[in-house]
Amino acid sequence: MTATTYSALIFDLDGTLIDSAPDIARAVNACFAARGWPELEVAYVESYIGNGPRRLIADIMVDRGLPSDPETVDAAMKGYLDAYSQDPAGRCRLFDHVREDLAALHGAGIRLGICTNKPHELTARILDLLDLARYFDVALGADAVPACKPDPGHLLAVAEAMQLEPGTYAYVGDTRVDQATARAAGIPFFVVPWGTGPGVEVPAQNRLSRLANLIAPTAVAAQ
């Protein structure tokens, strides 16, 4: 099956379309500074992105030996989200060619959606701030569904909202969480070459060099 067979594509957001790690790290550090906890490097924080805000904060707290009881984690997560919402895209950038490739996909008549573990309201704000919302029919954040990735229901909920038929779409991401989500949903998966994508093992034909590969006649979609 060639990529041109797909009438729709669903994307992860963080690490796939946008490099949001600097903004996320800024918010984590603002939350930590308010509690007298140590400042963290962007690359360190980036390694924990992908499982939603609570896991992000909880996993870092455990790794750093900080108090990680549920009440402390919940309070820290709230502090992180408050800090993040103040400036969710100030340091954010799109990965190379993403804007032009999304425009090309959209212009080719391929419908686009987003399945992300970022909070739903923040997702909508960031897409608006980066002038990307115009390309997407549906974008569902983690708190817009009963269970978020890697639960396949999250991805399938995006497909349902877009009224997509099985076999007509694929998922594009940068993490093993994205890969596991697609596999559990029975959806073909492509990985990007940036973010944590290089560390995800996929067949060569499922490794993109840029998003425009998905409208190239030679792109093959199978997993």
Q: What is the pLDDT of residues 108-155, one digit of tens each?
A: 999 999 999 999 999 999 999 999 999 999 999 999 999 999 999 999
User: The domain spanning residue 68 has which CATH number?
Assistant: 1.10.150
Section 53-62 average pLDDT:
97
- The reply to whether 151 belongs to the active site is no
Q: What is the pLDDT of residue 150?
A: 96
pLDDT: which is higher, 189 or 1: 189
Torsion angles phi and psi, residue 9, rounded to 5: -135, 140
Q: State the pLDDT confidence band at 219, using cuts at 50, 70 and 90.
A: very low
Beta-sheet pairing, 93-94 with 169-173: unpaired
Q: Is the pLDDT of residue 1 over 80?
A: no
User: At which of 46, 63, 86 does a domain end?
Assistant: 86
Residue 84 pLDDT > 80: yes
Judgement on whether residues 32 and 12 belong to the same structural domain of the protein: no
Its domain, for residue 39, covers: 21-86
pLDDT-derived band at 44 (thresholds 50, 70, 90) equals very high
- Name the token pair of 122: 């923040």
Q: Is the pLDDT of residue 96 over 80?
A: yes
- Do 77 and 190 meet the contact criterion of CB atoms below 8 Å apart? no
Among 86, 111, 143, the domain boundary falls at 86
pLDDT at 217: 54
Active-site choice (12, 19, 23, 174): 12
Residue 3 has pLDDT above 90, yes or no: no
Assess if residue 149 is contained within a domain. yes
Residues 97 and 79 in one domain: no
The dihedral through the CA atoms of 73, 153, 5, 131 has a sign that is: negative
Residues 144 and 197 in one domain: yes
Separation of alpha carbons 190 and 68, rounded Å:
35
Sign, CA torsion 201/203/209/213? negative
pLDDT of amino acid 218: 40
pLDDT at 208: 96
CA distance 93 to 132: 12
Give yes or no: residues 116 and 7 share one domain: yes
Clarify whether residues 115 and 178 are in a common domain: yes
Which two structure tokens, joined as six digits, stand for 69?
Answer: 């009881």
Per the rule left: phi > 0, alpha: psi between -120 and 50, beta: everything else, 96 is beta
User: Residue 37, class by beta-carbon neighbours within 10 Å (0-12 exposed, 13-18 middle, 19+ buried)?
Assistant: middle
Q: Are residues 55 and 145 located together in one domain of the fold?
A: no
> Are 55 and 117 in the same domain?
no
- Going by their DSSP bridges, the two strands 93-94 and 18-19 should be labelled as antiparallel
Do 211 and 117 share a structural domain? yes
Estimate to the nearest angstrom the gap between the alpha carbon of 109 and the chain centroid: 23
Average of per-residue pLDDT values in the chain: 93
Give the pLDDT of residue 215.
Answer: 87
Helix (H, G, I), strand (E, B) or coil at 93: strand
Instruction: Select from 45, 65, 86 the last residue of a domain.
Output: 86
pLDDT tens for each residue of 147-198? 999 999 999 999 999 999 999 999 999 999 999 999 999 999 999 999 899 9
